[in-house]
């Protein structure tokens, strides 16, 4: 029972961070109908940002969030304006292939600059506490709280501001939003910036809890697909639920399923949902 509670808790903690990555991907898909295969590399950049911030400027990783999130937002906006905008009219498969190229380019540039070494971030408060006998790593707990804060802020932005509402409207019905006078181009740009910023921020938050290496994005993007497909592509609440679900399934699976096939659970679930519930586990049938 104690093991169960322990896995549940660590699953939820990790899951919230997965959810954040998933939200970035799903918002971009919702508005632009593109699956950004380079999303994992954006997370990787956030992780390395946190690492170098600490190494070079003695910046606490969680404080560096204030630097990297806006920077990643700008990077996303530029990426959209300078590169993606010309590609998107060519169709969703072209965009998919394009971001595949981008993903490989960024990951391997990082490999060139930072080498393939595994790095870790050590924190003075990087200890484990045991409330109610359940072990919780402090950095992961902080990351969890911050992830929830960021997600709630995003939710408020999407529901309370005009720009946020425009993003949701475009996501639900692109044609109608053009008729309603929404500047779809600007919405797309901001959305892509947001998605990139979320990925970067998630990377910063994850950095103290994971190994850092340039090709970590490959692992993360696959998890990310699982999350957004479970939750329904384009749905923010779905991505949150999907993220936590995956976190919990992984962490329970590690304990209760023979180690060998535990990574397979996610994929089998993923395929099953894709095939039989394409609008996600929680979405209404389309």
Binding site for other proteins (CB under 8 A): 35, 83, 86-87, 90, 92-94, 96-98, 100-109, 111-112, 116, 218, 222, 225-226, 229, 260-261, 263-264, 267-268, 270-271, 274-275, 278, 284-285
**Shortest Cβ distance from residue 209 to other proteins (Å)?**
23
Given the complex with other proteins, which of 45 and 106 has the nearer CB atom?
A: 106
Given the complex with other proteins, which of 114 and 157 has the nearer CB atom?
A: 114
Phi-psi region of 178 (alpha: psi -120 to 50; beta: other; left: phi over 0): alpha
CA 51 – CA 62 distance, rounded (Å): 11
**Shortest Cβ distance from residue 96 to other proteins (Å)?**
6
**Shortest Cβ distance from residue 218 to other proteins (Å)?**
6
Side-chain-side CA neighbours of 166 within 13 Å: the count stands at: 17
Given the complex with other proteins, which of 107 and 146 has the nearer CB atom?
A: 107
Given the complex with other proteins, which of 5 and 112 has the nearer CB atom?
A: 112
Given the complex with other proteins, which of 43 and 154 has the nearer CB atom?
A: 43
Given the complex with other proteins, which of 12 and 87 has the nearer CB atom?
A: 87
In this structure, what token pair is assigned to residue 239? Answer: 């991505």
**Shortest Cβ distance from residue 103 to other proteins (Å)?**
7
**Shortest Cβ distance from residue 241 to other proteins (Å)?**
18
Task: Tell me the DSSP string of 211-275.
Answer: -B-TTHHHHHHHHHHHHHHHH-TT-HHHHHHHHHHHHHHHHHHHHHS-GGGHHHHHHHHHHHHHH
In this structure, what token pair is assigned to residue 35? Answer: 């699956």
What 3-state DSSP class applies to 143? helix
**Shortest Cβ distance from residue 221 to other proteins (Å)?**
9
Backbone torsions φ then ψ of 109, nearest 5 degrees: -65, -40
Given the complex with other proteins, which of 163 and 274 has the nearer CB atom?
A: 274
Long-range contacts of 125-128 (CB under 8 A, 24+ apart): 126/208
Contacts of 233 (CB under 8 A, 6+ apart): 26, 29, 30, 35, 280
């Amino acid at each position: 029972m104690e093991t169960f509670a322990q896995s549940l808790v660590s699953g939820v903690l990790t899951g919230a961070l997965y959810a954040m990555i998933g939200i970035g991907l799903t918002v971009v898909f919702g508005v632009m109908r593109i699956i950004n295969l380079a999303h994992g590399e954006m997370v990787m950049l956030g992780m390395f940002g946190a690492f170098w911030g600490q190494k070079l400027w003695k910046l606490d990783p969680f404080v560096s969030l204030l630097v990297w999130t806006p920077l990643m937002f700008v990077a996303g906006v530029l990426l959209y304006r300078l590169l993606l905008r010309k590609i998107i009219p060519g169709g969703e498969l072209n965009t998919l292939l394009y971001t595949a190229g981008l993903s490989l380019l960024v990951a391997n540039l990082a490999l060139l600059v930072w080498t393939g070494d595994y790095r870790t971030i050590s924190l003075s408060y990087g200890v484990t506490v045991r409330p109610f006998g359940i072990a919780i790593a402090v950095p992961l707990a902080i990351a969890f709280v911050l992830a929830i804060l960021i997600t709630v802020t995003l939710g408020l932005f999407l529901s309370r501001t005009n720009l946020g509402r425009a993003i949701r409207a475009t996501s639900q019905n692109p044609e109608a939003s053009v008729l309603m006078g929404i500047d779809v181009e600007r919405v797309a740009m901001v959305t892509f910036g947001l998605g990139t910023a979320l990925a970067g921020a998630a990377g910063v938050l994850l950095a103290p809890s994971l190994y850092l290496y340039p090709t970590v994005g490959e692992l993360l993007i696959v998890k990310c697909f699982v999350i957004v497909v479970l939750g329904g592509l384009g749905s923010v609440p779905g991505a949150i639920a999907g993220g936590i679900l995956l976190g919990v399934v992984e962490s329970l699976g590690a304990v209760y399923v023979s180690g060998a096939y535990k990574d397979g659970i996610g994929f089998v679930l993923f395929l099953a949902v894709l095939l039989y519930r394409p609008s996600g586990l929680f979405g209404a049938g389309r």
